[in-house]
Amino acid sequence: MTMASTKSTHSTSSRRVSYFYDAEVGNYHYGQGHPMKPHRVRMTHNLVVNYGLYKKMDVFRPRLISPTAMTRFHSDDYINFLKVITPDNMSDYTRQLQRFNVGEDCPVFDGLFEFCQLYTSGSIGGAARLNDNNADVVINWSGGLHHAKKAEASGFCYINDCVLAILELLKKHERVLYIDIDIHHGDGVEEAFYSTNRVMTVSFHKFGEYFPGTGDVLDIGYADGKNYAINFPLNDGMDDESYQSVFKPIIAKVMEHFAPGAVVLQCGADSLSGDRLGCFNLSVKGHAECVSFVRTFNIPMLVLGGGGYTLRNVPRCWTYETAVAVGEPVKDDMPFNDYYEYFGPDYSLHLPVSNMENLNSREYLNRTKEQLIDILREVEPVPGTQIQTGGVESALHPRGMLMDVDDSSKADGGNASENNPDQRGDGRSDGRKEHPSEMAS
């Protein structure tokens, strides 16, 4: 696909976009001084509403999944522990806190399990909506918590909604592609599907003395999954031009050889310039170009959040990427919103990048790119082995997610009123219910 055709596809085509959000998600707090702030999702939503982007999407409040649905990937013991642990009873669970890696990076806070249910339900509900062909793109900015393991919290993540959403997509699609542009390696998702050829994981991440420490270019999968884990390790200072010089050719080659039926795109915003924990130098437009490029392939796409720790920048990025997903241009001058003071002194959507040095030489990037393209040439045309992440129920025909669903609605198309974004349909087949009142003040 040429650059000209890519641009024209982005500018002229529209997609049926669904958007999952629950007002409660911004109420949860990891604790004083903790870099992960769920409040950023509320800020993003408020900006999306004030830009008028909600009018271009079906807007849903996720229907909460049952704890049983989480055991499609996670262990029963781990889920039961997350259900019962609270700040008040922590002293009774000292051994389990250690066993499940909960307590420091992944603290216990009020409403922990409900928070996990909220963000995970949006991702699974979004995958179900894609499976039912009710949307071309689904967005859940509260999701993308890609570090969680089968029986262990990790890197601010408790439940791996990415893995659970992929398992849901595998009910319909023979092959699912997972792409991760968070600055941290998507280790939890890679590990879950490391030995299957029905899921390909592709991660572009900072590597070398950096959390989680995995994602070497030589980590390519195991057994039937060999060549189905693609890792591009990067150094500090990655800028827009360098990033796209590797992202686009790698993803184009993945699409050519793997031919996925659906894509999960994790859009961690900690790869932006100026992130509190990150060390890349991407602009909002450079980050969003990844979304735009994947969108041009016209494959059902689930777009998730992830990292992102500079509070004023994450909403900028995810709002712009929402605009890219719906194919709607937005002004750089920010509309007034509930969190307007966060975005001063310029009050613009796009920010300049820093003058930090890019430690990724063109020679290194080209060498690694060719190495990965050689791996992709080894990919068999039609994979077909069983998934073993969660036991027998996650084989070729995974058992149901045990989700309570409403009766199917015959309505199709946008469900947000032009004048009142609170008026949205319920009774959808993917189990959505009407949102009570949180769209805009």
Lookup: tokens for 382: 């039609």
| Nearest one of 408, 399, 419, 439 to 129, comparing CA atoms | 408
DSSP designation for 74: S
Tokens 């900015």 sit on residue = 141
Cβ distance 356 to 237 under 8 Å?
A: yes
Q: Which is nearest to 78 in space by CA: 147, 151, 148?
A: 151
DSSP single-letter state for residue 149 = B
Q: Which of 180, 299, 280 is nearest to 230 (CA)?
A: 180
Q: How far apart are CA 267 and CA 265, in angstroms?
A: 6
Q: Are 309 and 277 in contact (CB under 8 A)?
A: yes
What would the two tokens of residue 152 be? 């262990």
Q: Pick from 137, 191, 194: which is nearest to 19 by CA?
A: 137
Q: Report how far residue 41's alpha carbon sits from residue 268's, in angstroms, rounded to the nearest whole number.
A: 12
Comparing CA positions, the residue from 215, 152, 160, 151 lying closest to residue 183 is 215
Residues assigned a catalytic role? 147
